[in-house]
Structure 1
Amino acid sequence: MMRTLYILALSTALSTAIVQESKAQSTSDLPATDQQTGVDGTEGVADIIVTAQKRNERLIDVPLSVTQIDSDVLVSQNLTTIREFFTRIPGLQYTGGAGQTTLAIRGVSADVGGNPTVGITIDDVPFPVGGQIAPDLDPAILKNVAVLRGPQGTLYGASSLGGLLKFETVTPDPNKFSGRIEAGSEVVLDGGSGYSTRGALNIPVIEDRVGISLSGFYRRAPGYLDYTALQSGPQNAANTNRSYGGRAALFIKPVDGLSINLSFLDQELRGQGGTTIGLNGDFRPLVGSATNNFSRTLPIYSTRVRLYTGRIDADLGFGTLSSITGYTQSRYSLNNDLTFIFAPVLGVIQRVFGLPIAGDRADLTQFSNTNRFSQEVRLASNPGQKLEWLVGAFYNYDKALSNQTLLAINPTTNAVDATVFDTPSPYRFREIAGFADATYNFTDKLSLQGGLRYADNRQRSIQTATGPLALLQGAEDSDVRSSDSSWTWLLSPQYKINANLNLYGRVATGYRPGGPNSGLTPNNLTYEPDRTTNYEIGLKGSVLDRKLVFSASGFWIDWRNIQLLSIDADTQVAFTDNGGRARSRGAEVEVSYNAWKGGVLAANGAYIDAALRDALVGQTIGLAGDRLPLSSRWSGNLSFDQSFVLTPELNANLGTTLSYVGPHFAEFPAEGDPRGYSRGYATLDLRAGIESHGISFSLYARNITDSKGIISVSTSGNPYTGSIVQPRSVGGLISFNF
């Protein structure tokens, strides 16, 4: 009943807004051009084209909540990782470090270490869903990044029950030779320095038929965290990393109506140190806002992503047949000192087995290698028909190997005193799915969209657990299999008030597969799927001669049988379990206003009320009404950019961005531990640049007020830890476009 009243209230509010905006317009139907000039000579905002529904559409016409950031914006502000731009996207939450990433959208998250609730695709090829590895693709490789909010189970399948992060790369242009060269440097005040280089080249081989694009980059990120307790001695600004990679793509159009796109992407990240500091019982820094005083060794980590993609599009006259083939290789490794977590476990093992390791250092080495093959074939009708439709089939197969080894290390000699546990785990995942989507246009204004997907999943995990911790747990070698299937669906009516104003509703479902646990948890060998249902109403469009572009949406998400990462209080071994129900409700708004020539004022904000509906039972503690992890009740972003024509051959620009992330809780704790809490924080960025004859120079300053924000908190060890915002940083870029 409450959900019904909530949706009705949102409908009434948005309907009122429609009437008011309609009365305010001087023209009822503005043409949908790329750019339009207002009566005062101010240019309107250009249309944004997205592929959220697996076809090219104006953002205004898509009946779901989408935010898209072009690579030009990421490059000009040197936003090279998700950690650096997540605050620009309403409803997106992030935590991570040392090569790991956990994302949530609209509060749909129950932990920071379990299976992801946000799907990821690169050129419509799904990235492997296991673990906490999300590809931080460099802007040199990208065309844009889009975030689709709400479950996307019908078109994008498993593990998109919270939403989707969609990377789109550049397609070679067979008609124009062009390129870009860039170099930059960045300094963290009271920290270290870094630098970057990027290059991209587009080569037409045969006019209108064959083109090649090449891109590459190298980046060394500055460090800013001081490690004061290292066994080898203190190191300042020690958390540095370097990343490098590139992409090669080939476009072939052998005949009209047929195109072939082939590409290879390779990116690697290698780093040391993390982003966490020690916290006291009030979740404030123990000794300094950028000081790690508990790690005896630096974490060493690496990630690598390779993606081979082949896409064929054939115009059949009545529609387009597309085949998308992908082969992904994802690699991750981490060596980390976790004595502050496992010291009690070493003491227990010494008492039980007589091993002299109670005072040792506990080093955890983990790695995961995943190879995924995926194939999608879909047939889509031509746009503009009375009935527009899309049907397709999807297959993917993952072959993975992960391993965790906990070693007791003598702190004096660095010799290995004992292998506490070792758990190699081969893993297989297979998914077969079919999907269909159709939109019936009753009139040129009123339409109804429906979609349906069926997916069948099979998983297998083999594990050999050895070491005293495995004996203590009573674990045996295991071969665990699981399987499940799911129907997901969507229903979306929309009414186009005019060519540039769209009211829509949306009911959509999402699904995350269940799966096998490890042999270290014999009483919890498998866990079940969880599902979401999203109720949404939205209004998007442009008014005031297309100078004001906006999007507003209200949503209610029901989440059932939620998957939770539980921790055994005695052994600290993690396993996935199922809880009861949760819900998330709220609203998001995005506005961009071309106030005058060259000036753009933009703002976005999100209100999210995400909480448990049932108390958790088991090792993880949570009561009905407790807020879900990472979800700030309020978050937002305000920016202003102004461009100037100084001379006919010299242009300049200035800009600023203010971002706010509200207070939020960490994951639900194990029994006996408190729940972590992060206070709200704000960051202010500044930027300026000049450009002439393709040569541009820009300066930027991030977190200019030197906010001491803590992104996330963990209470699973002693001391508590928190992942911090990068301190005040300044940098510059010089580039040449030709």
Structure 2
Amino acid sequence: MGRRTSLLIVTTPLFAIAAATATPALGADRQDISIAPGRLGDAAIALGRQTGASIGMSDQSLASLRTPAIQGRMSAESALRILLKGSGAKAQRIGANGWRIVRAKSPPPPSAAPAPIQAAPLADQPPAEIIVTASKRDTPLPRYAGMVEALDSSLFTSGEASGGTATLLARVASLSSTHAGTGRNKLFIRAIADSGVAGPTQATTGQYLGDMRLNYAAPDPDLKLYDVGRVEVLEGPQGTLYGAGSLGGIIRLMPNAPNLAEYGGQMSAGLSATQHGDPGGDLSATLNIPIVSEKLALRVVSYGVQDGGYIDDVNRGKDDVNRVRTYGGRAALRFAPGDGWIIDLNGVYQHIDGDDAQYASRSVGRLQRASAVAQPYYSDYLLANLRIEKQWDSLRFVSSTGYVRHILAESYDATQPNGPPALFRQRNRVDIFSTENRLVRDLDNGLGWILGASYLQSTSDLHRSLTSFGTAEVQPAIIPGVPMYGRGMAAAATGVQNMVNEATMFGEASFEPVKGLIATVGGRLTNSRLSGEALDPVAALSFSELARAEAQADRSETIFLPSASLLTDAIPGLTLYARFQQGFRPGGLAVDDQRVRRYQNDRASTVEVGARKGVPGRDLFAASANIAYTDWRNIQADVTDRIGLPTTANIGDGRIYTVEGRIVVRPLRQLTLDGSAIYNDSRLTQPTDFVRMLSYEGRSLSLPNVANLSGRLAFDYRTTIGDDMRFNLSGSARYVGKSRLGVGPILGQTQGDYVDTSLSAGLTRGAVQYSLSLTNLLDSNGNRFSLGTPFDLRTDYYTPLRPRTVRIGLDLAF
């Protein structure tokens, strides 16, 4: 086994450089090298791993150059010479064991291209290597036991980057969401969904920026995807490697790292027009600055996005009230002192302002509602992270430590029939400190091990208030125990604070008991210390009642999550696997009918079997399929109490069957056809007394917010025009089937059953790209989400798709 180094994904827009350097003597050593024919970007990654060389790339377009196979014993320099022969690129030496691949001054004539690559049909070319970095062991895709969706930056236009999570929802059939508004949605993978109401419970889907956790007891922060090199979605519980809050799976965003060698950047601008609504626009800029060549570099991203409104409020006489503005940015500082060390300091800030709620009422009219008051919201997100990596041969140490502050402030129309206008507000502040340290031995053949320890501290403060705008001195109460002052004076309603401290040890190892069969076993031991208290309790709550609830919340829990999988690739080109994994969420305190109550932890266990053939988008034919069964015990769910306020409770036990599949075909080298579908059958099999008290009868009920059937059809066409222009055309249609808003008759409204469509085109000439995109081509009025205000759960509220929207964009790289 040759020495290796950790390389960044080569889809970095301007440069992919080694994350660690090897000893100087290695550059001239002859070593066993085996690289399949494919793309230069993937060949550079494989060569870096097999030789320990630091290999960079000055231009993203070079990554797509075709390269021949290499097999034999040679030096890294000799291998590079073979890879680049006739490609129009050359390698420049950097230091004792580094190279930068640059474009040659004069491109060679067509006849100079390697004959085997031009002559070989696409079907005869082995797939280039794709690495599942979210496995934390850099596992090659053919040897990863599970369903994974990997999206690289070449698939995102600047317009799609401005869409944030909405872009991922349009591309991944197993991913679903509530639609309360940008920055306040809950994300679900497969059918692991608790409810659509935002409460203090932890998310079922883990979200990460690199190695840093993005959220805990809060909705999706919806970070924009500018300068993100890759997104990976891992399906099913990921408790062993990611711990609490990954019951459904994880979403991992991997931003492009600073380029240590060259200045560069990109700017983008777009204007959009929405039928029936206001115009919008987006701006972004990325700048990369090497401060000390090959040692220290800074990368900065900034952006601003305005989504025009399209909902009219007929009661207040206002049009297009639901405008949303987002601005933010990221900064990354990379220091490479040498000897295999990489130190990254990262910061993120994003602010979202929503002028009003996103819902309408069918009885009022299309894209219309009648509200007594505006319902604005905002999200304020801050992240800081320090990541340290050290590389020795096939051994790697990674330490990631960071802090997150996430504030989400929401408001709901609490006006009662024949009553004065009233507004209910809640503000949730979540503070997270986390650190993880792991030692990894990740080999190119998917074997190896990981051993780590982590600590997390999360505090969630949920404050609530009620404001009446009436003028009468005595007003009827909306929430028992909460006074109605009138004239816009706010009265505090009972809130809650939840604190979690988690100390964890985890490990996983893969071995090959017989050739072609890989077994993986792992486990995670977590001790959670939980505590909680009431905030601003109303006078109706007795001291003894509060003390009893808080005493119940103050406890310690120790949980062990095992995992195991078997995988075989003994049949050439085909991967078969079986997997068992668990996930959990700790308990806490919630407010129910102005009472503080404890809810307990829940746990999901999933058994799945699947198959995978080929690499999507690169092979002539690629397919994957999966069948999974999930047993979900003591389900936590954000529901509504009898007053209509959001609360959290254990609603019982459930089970979920999932069947999904995907087929990707390349009938032409320039054309890719992609089809995927997922079917979910979810049931609440043993409801708790809390659910029965909501007038529920019977013993079986569908779990909320995830459609029983969803699917996606898409095409992507890319070609060259002349010598210096590239053209691409892509389109998709996604069907989202029927689902229910929540559990029980009060939250039993149906939603979904619509088709969302899009079409986009781009023309690139040199460093400039022109783009045109259309979304919701059919101008569908489909219902994405049936929740309006929790104080009125019987009106025919719906959240429509954004009407037909056209965007023109311009991107400039420098």
TM-score by length of 2: 0.78
Could you say what secondary structure the match of 1:168 adopts?
strand
Asked if 1:185 is matched to 2:274, the reply is no
Selected match of 2:627 from 545, 549, 554: 554
Counting only pairs closer than 5 Å after superposition, residues 290-689 of structure 1 correspond to structure 2 as 290-293=367-370, 295-317=371-393, 319-339=395-415, 343=416, 359-384=419-444, 388-410=448-470, 415-416=486-487, 419=490, 421-467=492-538, 470=540, 476=546, 479=550, 480-497=553-570, 500-518=573-591, 522=595, 525-542=597-614, 546-569=619-642, 571-618=643-690, 619-620=693-694, 621=696, 623-669=698-744, 673=746, 675-689=748-762
CA distance in 2, matches of 1:135, 1:112: 16
Say whether the 8 Å CA contact 1:615–1:622 is kept in structure 2: no
Which residue number in structure 2 is paired with residue 352 of structure 1?
none
Say whether the 8 Å CA contact 1:482–1:514 is kept in structure 2: no
Which residue number in structure 2 is paired with residue 261 of structure 1?
344
CA distance in 2, matches of 1:498, 1:257: 37
Asked if 1:714 is matched to 2:791, the reply is no
Which residue number in structure 1 is paired with residue 233 of structure 2?
147
- What are the Cα deviations for residues 506-536 of structure 1, in whole angstroms up to 9, with x where unaligned? 01111111112248654x6211111111111
CA distance in 1, matches of 2:322, 2:445: 55
Say whether the 8 Å CA contact 2:672–2:716 is kept in structure 1: yes
CA distance in 1, matches of 2:173, 2:719: 29
Q: Which amino acid aligns with 1:127?
A: L
- What are the Cα deviations for residues 556-589 of structure 1, in whole angstroms up to 9, with x where unaligned? 11111112334332x3344322233211112111
Could you say what secondary structure the match of 1:83 adopts?
helix
- What are the Cα deviations for residues 243-284 of structure 1, in whole angstroms up to 9, with x where unaligned? 111111111111221111111111111121122112xxxxxx
Could you say what secondary structure the match of 2:331 adopts?
strand
Asked if 1:175 is matched to 2:261, the reply is yes
Counting only pairs closer than 5 Å after superposition, residues 18-167 of structure 1 correspond to structure 2 as 34=42, 39-40=120-121, 47-78=129-160, 80-98=163-181, 99-113=183-197, 114=199, 115=201, 116-131=203-218, 133-167=219-253
Cα distance 1:154–1:201, how it changes in 2: closer, same or farther (>3 A)? same
Q: Among the aligned pairs, what percent are the same residue? A: 26
CA distance in 1, matches of 2:275, 2:460: 41
Give the C-alpha shift of residue 416 in structure 1.
3.1
Say whether the 8 Å CA contact 2:373–2:422 is kept in structure 1: no
Which residue number in structure 2 is paired with residue 735 of structure 1?
811
Which residue number in structure 2 is paired with residue 238 of structure 1?
321
Say whether the 8 Å CA contact 2:140–2:446 is kept in structure 1: no
Q: Which amino acid aligns with 1:397?
A: Q
Give the C-alpha shift of residue 540 in structure 1.
1.4
Cα distance 1:412–1:145, how it changes in 2: closer, same or farther (>3 A)? farther
Say whether the 8 Å CA contact 1:378–1:392 is kept in structure 2: yes
Which residue number in structure 2 is paired with residue 697 of structure 1?
770
CA distance in 1, matches of 2:289, 2:489: 57
Give the C-alpha shift of residue 418 in structure 1.
6.5
Say whether the 8 Å CA contact 1:507–1:535 is kept in structure 2: yes
Cα distance 1:499–1:57, how it changes in 2: closer, same or farther (>3 A)? farther
Moved more, 587-596 or 458-467: 458-467
Could you say what secondary structure the match of 1:517 adopts?
strand
Query: What's the RMSD between the two structures over aligned residues?
Result: 2.8
Give the C-alpha shift of residue 315 in structure 1.
1.9
Could you say what secondary structure the match of 2:241 adopts?
helix
Could you say what secondary structure the match of 1:173 adopts?
coil
- What are the Cα deviations for residues 324-372 of structure 1, in whole angstroms up to 9, with x where unaligned? 0111111111233232xxx27xxxxxxxxxxxxx722221121122221
Say whether the 8 Å CA contact 2:137–2:441 is kept in structure 1: no
Give the C-alpha shift of residue 155 in structure 1.
0.3
Asked if 1:275 is matched to 2:358, the reply is yes
- What are the Cα deviations for residues 576-618 of structure 1, in whole angstroms up to 9, with x where unaligned? 2223321111211122222212111111111111112224432
Say whether the 8 Å CA contact 1:708–1:727 is kept in structure 2: yes
Q: Which amino acid aligns with 2:298?
A: I
Give the C-alpha shift of residue 640 in structure 1.
0.9
Asked if 1:289 is matched to 2:366, the reply is yes
CA distance in 2, matches of 1:474, 1:623: 35
Give the C-alpha shift of residue 720 in structure 1.
3.6
Give the C-alpha shift of residue 428 in structure 1.
2.0
Give the C-alpha shift of residue 723 in structure 1.
1.8
Selected match of 1:205 from 286, 291, 310: 291
Give the C-alpha shift of residue 45 in structure 1.
6.4
Say whether the 8 Å CA contact 1:141–1:216 is kept in structure 2: no
CA distance in 2, matches of 1:471, 1:361: 26
Could you say what secondary structure the match of 1:714 adopts?
coil
Give the C-alpha shift of residue 399 in structure 1.
3.0
Cα distance 1:297–1:64, how it changes in 2: closer, same or farther (>3 A)? same
Give the C-alpha shift of residue 649 in structure 1.
1.4
Q: Which amino acid aligns with 2:194?
A: A
Q: Mind listing any 5+ residue stretches in structure 1 that lack a counterpart?
A: 1-28, 279-284, 345-357
Give the C-alpha shift of residue 633 in structure 1.
1.7
CA distance in 2, matches of 1:152, 1:410: 50
- What are the Cα deviations for residues 644-681 of structure 1, in whole angstroms up to 9, with x where unaligned? 222111221212111110111110136xx361112411
Q: Which amino acid aligns with 1:50?
A: V
Could you say what secondary structure the match of 1:87 adopts?
helix
Which residue number in structure 2 is paired with residue 7 of structure 1?
none
Give the C-alpha shift of residue 318 in structure 1.
5.5
Cα distance 1:333–1:566, how it changes in 2: closer, same or farther (>3 A)? closer
Give the C-alpha shift of residue 485 in structure 1.
2.2
Q: Which amino acid aligns with 1:579?
A: I
Could you say what secondary structure the match of 1:608 adopts?
strand
Q: Which amino acid aligns with 1:108?
A: I
Which residue number in structure 1 is paired with residue 482 of structure 2?
none
Could you say what secondary structure the match of 1:68 adopts?
strand
Q: Which amino acid aligns with 1:402?
A: L
Give the C-alpha shift of residue 179 in structure 1.
1.1
Could you say what secondary structure the match of 2:799 adopts?
strand
Q: Which amino acid aligns with 1:631?
A: V
Q: Which amino acid aligns with 2:577?
A: Y
CA distance in 2, matches of 1:582, 1:445: 36
CA distance in 1, matches of 2:379, 2:624: 36
Q: Which amino acid aligns with 1:628?
A: L
Say whether the 8 Å CA contact 1:87–1:661 is kept in structure 2: no
Could you say what secondary structure the match of 2:660 adopts?
strand
Give the C-alpha shift of residue 636 in structure 1.
0.8
Could you say what secondary structure the match of 1:172 adopts?
coil
Moved more, 421-430 or 57-66: 421-430
Cα distance 1:85–1:235, how it changes in 2: closer, same or farther (>3 A)? farther
Cα distance 1:412–1:267, how it changes in 2: closer, same or farther (>3 A)? farther
Say whether the 8 Å CA contact 2:752–2:785 is kept in structure 1: no
Give the C-alpha shift of residue 102 in structure 1.
1.4
Give the C-alpha shift of residue 471 in structure 1.
5.9
CA distance in 1, matches of 2:752, 2:345: 46
Say whether the 8 Å CA contact 2:639–2:742 is kept in structure 1: no
Give the C-alpha shift of residue 497 in structure 1.
3.1
Q: Which amino acid aligns with 1:286?
A: S
CA distance in 2, matches of 1:364, 1:647: 61
CA distance in 2, matches of 1:207, 1:632: 52
